[in-house]
Amino acid sequence: MVIYVMDRYNNIPMFITENGYGEEDNPIITVEEFQHDVKRVEYMDRYLDALLRAARKGADVRGYFTWSLLDNFEWNFGSTIRFGLHHVDYTTLKIREPQNYQQVGTNSSLQSIRSIL
């Protein structure tokens, strides 16, 4: 999509906003499964890698904002879909930090993006 916008609209500056991976809430999932959020990590890694490739091809990407830092209330879905990088227990409002995002944060894709921006 970024390459399409670059080609179609004369490489206008782009900010990617509210990008993320939504997953239906599963009340019986364990804390450990929340902390090892493999599907979301893989999605983010692939998306950021594609964004890096587009930037290397000349796309004027000036910013990227994930949706969302924390699980939240969605207007269309309430609390049934989770988009957060951090899991929120809606009963206690405690936040559980996912361990797998440490890998994304040190992944070469992100390091490369930081070096070209």
Q: How far apart are CA 2 and CA 90, in angstroms?
A: 35
Residues 6+ apart with CB under 8 A from 40: 20, 21, 23, 85, 98
The two structure tokens encoding residue 18: 């509210």
Which entry of 18, 32, 42, 97 is annotated as an active-site residue?
Answer: 18
Under a CB-based contact definition with an 8 Å cutoff, are residues 25 and 81 in contact?
yes
HSE value, Cβ hemisphere, 13 Å, CA-based, for 40: 28
The label of the residue with tokens 């559980």 reads 96
Among residues 95, 79, 68, the alpha carbon closest in space to that of 24 is found at 79
Q: Could you confirm whether 74 is annotated as catalytic?
A: no
- Catalytic positions: 18
